Chain A
Amino acid sequence: MKYSALSLLRAGLGGHKDWPRAWRDPEPKPHYDVIIIGGGGHGLTTAFYLAAVHGVKKVAVLERGWIGGGNTGRNTTIVRSNYRLPELHALMELSLKRWEGMSDEINYNVMFSQRGALFLGHSDSDMLQLAQKGDAMRADGIDAELMTRDQVAKLIPLLDVSRTARYPVQGGLIQRRGGTARHDAVAWGYARAADRLGVDIIQNCEVTGMDITGGRITGVQTTRGPIGADRVGIAVAGNSGRVAAMAGLRLPIESHLLQAFVSEPVKPMIDTVIMTQSLHCYISQSDKGEIVLGGDPDAYPTYSQRGAPHIIEKAAAEALALVPALSRLRMLRSWAGTTDMSFDGSPFIDATPVEGLYFNGGWCYGGFKATPGSGWLFSHLLARGENHPVAAPFRLDRFETGRTMDEPGVGPMPQNR
């Protein structure tokens, strides 16, 4: 059923009793043209575009748990394309353009709110870096505005921009088209839209092995039996190493964790996404009114999805120093996502040495914003067997060849990002 104001009115008059389920719960078929491992945002958008753009008929998404139960539901929902390197501009701007049309495209309100994404500058060198980044963005056709301290103060009145502030604010760089979205809705919306095009979304189905004959993949073993496939795509960021190991592959990825936490809901007080990269603190307010905070990664490999308190303490201290009005808020919950840390901070969208097996991962802690672009590019690779020009630089062998894309220029150790 198509969602519209009329369908909402009709269902409302009937007491909301007759809403049909949003997607089917099919049994796995014996064989598919393409199997996507991983029912997060990236896997679901890939499946959707495979059916919608490339006309692939038999597609399945296999999810170990439930749709949106992994990193798609564990991020801080920030969407932006304010990078410095041209390869990342192309990737993230392609994605941001798809965000702008997403709710219409999938007939599902993902509450994408372009409230502006602001990087704060705290020093002369910060401001130089932001000016350079802004210039690079504008040269590639992406919106960016350098702001003075007064302009920042006017935009965010609750920010402490006084000369005695613990973290003095000199200015900032804003991307007004950046913002936030409802992360669960992205997973649910793409699941429903893909399902309407005939994609089988199979939950509670863990892949336990891969069938590889003569260097070519023929299917996967799952907790719900073997399933055959011509092509298989891995989109399981966080667990990429474990799934790739089933095909005998080692990846340039370590699994780390990133924490986030939210306060009790309050009335609207911050209508911009505030970020500071020299401190590493992220502040935004959800549409429910919660203040969403994020900070540093925990900086060691782990699958525990449980972080250390001193990391939260640092992020909270920074947030309070920047916006003192947050000091009386009570925190509701904190959580952690497993991040696929690559060795240059950039992701991978590439074929693997196993014929018919393709890989999408290594999104570090920036995968949510890339959700629709990642699916757009990965579906292209899976459907055609060759990479889209925008995805071409994101190769698995780039460390061997020296063609890395290290945005902050911090070198190869994932714990330093």
Chain B
Amino acid sequence: MMLIPCPHCGPRAHAEFTFDRPVEAITRPDETPDALVRNLFSRENPRGPSRELWRHTYGCRSWITLTRDTATHAITDVRPVGVGA
């Protein structure tokens, strides 16, 4: 079980959160079709630090980004997402 430090609520159990996607897979409407396909449907899938988008779904429901080591689950650099963040 990971302990994820939500920037709004403090450290909370990982069961309260849902993973969305690696930050590299966030797409924007002005991207070319090739870039969209690459970002949506292929991954670096690293073993080690990965920058990811998560959501505190069963807590404050805010989106957050964090860096998580996919081998050790060590979490660093948690940041809020959104206007004013």
In the assembled complex, the CB of B21 is this many whole angstroms from the nearest CB of chain A, namely: 7
- Given the interface contacts A302-B70, A303-B47, A304-B70, does A400 sit within 8 Å of B37 by beta carbon? yes
| Bound complex: CA A273 to CA B34 (Å) | 44
Other CB < 8 Å A-B pairs besides A250-B44, A301-B22, A400-B41, 13 of them? A239-B47, A240-B45, A241-B44, A242-B47, A250-B38, A251-B45, A254-B43, A255-B45, A255-B70, A301-B19, A303-B70, A304-B71, A400-B37
Q: Mark B8-39, 1 if CB is under 8 A from A, else 0.
A: 00000111001111100000000000000110
Q: With CB as the reference atom, state the residue of chain B lying closest to A256.
A: B19
Chain A residues with Cβ below 8 Å from B40 are 343, 399, 412
Q: Is the CB of B43 within 8 A of A241?
A: yes
Interface members, chain B 34-72 (any A CB < 8 Å): 37-38, 40-47, 50, 52, 70-72
Count contacts on A: residues with CB < 8 A to the other chain. Answer: 26
Residue A413 CB within 8 A of the other chain: yes
Residue B2 CB within 8 A of the other chain: yes
* Prevailing SS type, chain B contact patch: mixed
- Chain B interface extent, by class: 20 to 34
Q: CB within 8 Å of A: which residues of B?
A: 1-2, 13-15, 18-22, 37-38, 40-47, 50, 52, 70-73
The 14 listed contacts between A and B (C-beta, < 8 Å) are: A241-B43, A241-B44, A245-B44, A251-B42, A301-B22, A301-B50, A301-B70, A303-B47, A310-B1, A343-B41, A399-B37, A399-B40, A399-B41, A412-B40
| Bound complex: CA A399 to CA B36 (Å) | 11
- Given the interface contacts A308-B14, A308-B15, does A302 sit within 8 Å of B73 by beta carbon? yes
Interface members, chain A 359-417 (any B CB < 8 Å): 399-400, 412-413, 415
Chain B residues with Cβ below 8 Å from A242 are 45, 47
In the assembled complex, the CB of B34 is this many whole angstroms from the nearest CB of chain A, namely: 9
Please tell me which one of the listed residues A252, A303, A309 contacts residue B71 in the complex, with CB atoms under 8 A apart.
A303
